[in-house]
């Protein structure tokens, strides 16, 4: 908490009078993401910088692994120097984007155990020989997950499957296991495009589960619409994308989830918004798993105790150090066993209760790091020093968007802070470490986790806690980059009303100038607006020139 008072006491940096009196916004930027792994990256950036400079832009937000500089090869720094020279020649300022908690790849490159952890409490293990393995005290199953029990095209055991005999069919000719599968087709003929089956399954709270299914596809459009969803009280416990081909032979797909506080879940498998093609499902299963993606850091302790006596056993004395050598954050592998040591006090047949924390990827591999683990800040402080050494930027952008897990590990809970306070404290620490290496630095941050119109609320993905009020816990001289177009007026007004200066992140993967025009209209109504950024996630720069003309010739 001491960082909050330090950061909030820092005085705002004022823009020059020349900037404030200009007819155009002082910050006219373009977002560029390149790894600087090869010379083509430099050539690409040169072309973007030339266009930006020729059309009145003056800044480039650069995403290039700048917060892991001590892990970059010599060639990286040669290419970084070439980029710096190209920007200097065109009068383009480099703004590094760094320090993401939501997309934790840079931090995880140093230590994958720094991921946020979800609690598994009192999983039942039994000693057999030289190992102890999971023996669930609450076996779970998908009733009729192989679709063998049916009446015509209606499968028994599930809560529903979409339109039996019209969209879903029992298929006794094509199957993976047993004598039947569930086939879906014709869903594209209906406005919603749904083709799904759903089971309701009781579970134990704070346990880890894997859901698997065998899937076969034929001309499925779009293939990306196939999902396995796990819902509890309307909340998604497994916000994971399942990647399947449009046409593929039988393959097994797997996802995992933590049951959190819930004792019952609804498991859906199928397509939402499908257009064409067909697919088959077979052998849909759910199993409790343990120690998959187990995290080992101070804030995610592991406990092994006797079920009857409560005796707590010691790692390194009774059993070997526990870790998941794969730690993929996916559920495509088995968890490790607990291996007994020669000095163990554990005995054959003994029942144990094991408590631990595991990590989990979201969507296509997004992994959130823990904002309460001290090692994270040690890593970031070192990188701030290196960024200052190699770039000495005047402005910095904190990549603190979409923080989709947190508050669930012991490191977070021990602080007795809300998630709004934990996030605010994290931003204050980041702000302070940047100001420590450059007292004149101007620090920007993405808006969504500080915006009640966007992601600053409760029940956000796998977060345990509430981000509401996060905006109350950050330095007043943070600059806020708003990027939710549909709520642009509300978001800009929210931050402006609190005294923050703002910049628009025009999400520019469209084919017209409508998006930046809409942002400019909202910015013109916003006190303290600083400018706008051409923001593309798909490397689409065809309209960068017209964008530059639009924002610089006003």
CA distance 257 to 201: 13
Q: Are 213 and 283 in contact (CB under 8 A)?
A: yes
- Hey, is 306 helix, strand or coil? strand
For the beta carbon of residue 21, count every other beta carbon within 10 angstroms.
9
- Beta bridge partners, 218, equal 278
Nearest to 78 by CA among 48, 36, 46, 112: 36
Q: Are 418 and 410 in contact (CB under 8 A)?
A: no
What letter would DSSP give residue 475? -
- Hey, is 282 helix, strand or coil? strand
Q: Are 236 and 230 in contact (CB under 8 A)?
A: yes
List C-alpha distances in Å: 8 to 29, 211, 249, 474, 530.
27, 46, 58, 7, 21
- Beta bridge partners, 187, equal none
Q: What is the pLDDT along the chain (554 residues), one digit of tens a residue?
A: 444 444 444 434 444 333 333 358 999 999 999 999 999 999 999 999 999 999 999 999 999 999 999 999 999 999 999 999 999 999 999 999 999 999 999 999 999 999 999 999 999 999 999 999 999 999 999 999 999 999 999 999 999 999 999 999 999 999 999 999 999 999 999 999 999 999 999 999 999 999 999 999 999 999 889 999 999 998 999 999 999 999 999 999 999 999 999 999 999 999 999 999 999 999 999 999 999 999 999 999 999 999 999 999 999 999 999 999 999 999 999 999 999 999 999 999 999 999 999 999 999 999 999 999 999 999 999 999 999 999 999 999 999 999 999 999 999 999 999 999 999 999 999 999 999 999 999 999 999 999 999 999 999 999 999 999 999 999 999 999 999 999 999 999 999 999 999 999 998 777 899 999 999 999 999 999 999 999 999 999 999 999 999 999 88
- Beta bridge partners, 61, equal 31, 95
Phi/psi region, residue 154 (left: phi>0; alpha: psi -120 to 50; beta: rest), is beta
Task: Count CA within 13 A, CB hemisphere, residue 374.
Answer: 3
Nearest to 199 by CA among 141, 258, 244, 250: 141
CA distance 419 to 101: 13
Rg for the chain (alpha carbons), in Å?
26
Nearest to 368 by CA among 455, 471, 494: 455
Nearest to 531 by CA among 515, 551, 512, 513: 551
- Is the preceding peptide bond at 222 cis, omega within 30 degrees of 0? yes
CA distance 30 to 445: 15
CA distance 335 to 247: 31
CA distance 349 to 64: 53
Kindly report the pTM of this predicted structure: 0.94
- Hey, is 267 helix, strand or coil? strand
Would you list the DSSP string of 190-251? STT--EEEEEEEE--TT-EEEEEEEEEEEEEETGGGEEEEEEETTEES--B-----SSEEEE
Nearest to 113 by CA among 275, 422, 322: 322
List C-alpha distances in Å: 237 to 105, 215, 288, 405.
22, 21, 15, 11
**The Cα angle at residue 18 between residues 16 and 24, in degrees rounded to 5:** 110
Per-residue model confidence (pLDDT) at position 224: 85
CA distance 470 to 474: 7
Per-residue model confidence (pLDDT) at position 396: 98
Q: Are 359 and 115 in contact (CB under 8 A)?
A: yes
Report the chain's terminal Cα–Cα distance, integer Å.
44
């Amino acid at each position: 908490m001491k960082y909050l008072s330090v950061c909030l006491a820092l005085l705002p940096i004022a823009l020059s009078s020349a900037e404030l009196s200009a007819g155009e916004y002082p910050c006219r930027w373009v977002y560029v993401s390149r790894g600087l792994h090869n010379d083509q990256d430099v050539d690409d950036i040169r072309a973007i910088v030339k266009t930006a400079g020729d059309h009145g832009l003056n800044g480039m937000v650069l995403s290039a692994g700048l917060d892991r500089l001590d892990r970059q090869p010599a060639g990286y720094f040669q290419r970084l120097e070439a980029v710096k020279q190209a920007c200097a020649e065109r009068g383009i300022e480099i703004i590094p984007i760094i320090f993401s908690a939501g997309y934790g790849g840079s931090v995880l490159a140093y230590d994958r155990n720094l991921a946020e952890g979800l609690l598994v409490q009192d999983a039942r293990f039994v000693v057999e020989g030289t190992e102890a393995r999971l023996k669930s005290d609450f076996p779970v199953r998908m009733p009729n997950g192989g679709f063998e029990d049916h009446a015509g095209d209606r499968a028994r055991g599930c809560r529903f499957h979409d339109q039996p005999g019209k969209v879903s069919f029992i298929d006794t000719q094509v199957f993976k296991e047993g004598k039947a599968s569930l086939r879906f087709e014709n869903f594209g003929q209906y406005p919603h495009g749904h083709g799904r089956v759903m089971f309701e399954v009781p579970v134990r709270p704070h346990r880890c589960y894997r859901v698997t299914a065998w899937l076969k596809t034929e001309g499925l459009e779009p293939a990306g619409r196939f999902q396995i969803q796990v819902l509890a009280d309307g909340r998604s416990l497994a916000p994971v994308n399942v990647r399947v081909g449009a046409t593929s032979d039988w393959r097994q797909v797997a996802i995992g989830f933590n049951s959190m506080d819930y004792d019952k879940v609804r498991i859906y498998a199928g397509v939402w918004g499908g257009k064409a093609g067909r697919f088959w499902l077979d052998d849909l299963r759910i199993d409790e798993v343990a120690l998959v993606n187990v995290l080992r850091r101070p804030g995610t302790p592991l406990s092994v105790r006797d079920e009857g006596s409560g005796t707590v056993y010691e790692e390194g004395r009774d059993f070997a150090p526990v870790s998941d050598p794969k730690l993929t954050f996916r559920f495509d592998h088995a968890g490790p066993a607990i291996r007994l040591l020669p000095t163990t006090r554990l005995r054959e047949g003994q029942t144990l209760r094991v408590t631990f924390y595991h990590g989990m990827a979201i969507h296509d591999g997004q992994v959130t790091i823990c904002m309460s683990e001290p090692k994270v800040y040690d890593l970031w402080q070192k990188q701030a020093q290196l960024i200052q050494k190699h770039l000495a930027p005047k402005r910095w952008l904190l990549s603190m968007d979409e923080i989709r897990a947190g508050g669930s590990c012991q490191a977070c809970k021990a602080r007795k802070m809300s998630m709004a306070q934990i996030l605010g404290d994290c931003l204050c620490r980041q702000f302070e470490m940047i100001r420590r290496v450059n007292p004149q630095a101007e620090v920007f941050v993405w808006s969504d986790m500080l915006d009640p119109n966007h992601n600053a609320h409760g029940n956000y993905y796998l977060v345990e806690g509430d981000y509401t009020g996060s905006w109350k816990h950050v330095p007043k001289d943070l600059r806020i980059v708003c990027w939710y177009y549909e709520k642009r007026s509300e978001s800009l007004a929210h931050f402006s009303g609190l005294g923050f200066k703002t910049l628009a992140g025009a999400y520019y993967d469209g084919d017209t100038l409508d998006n930046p025009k809409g942002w400019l209209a909202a910015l013109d109504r916003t006190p303290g607006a600083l400018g706008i950024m051409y923001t593309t996630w798909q490397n689409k720069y065809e309209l960068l020139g017209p964008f530059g003309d639009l924002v610089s010739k006003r």
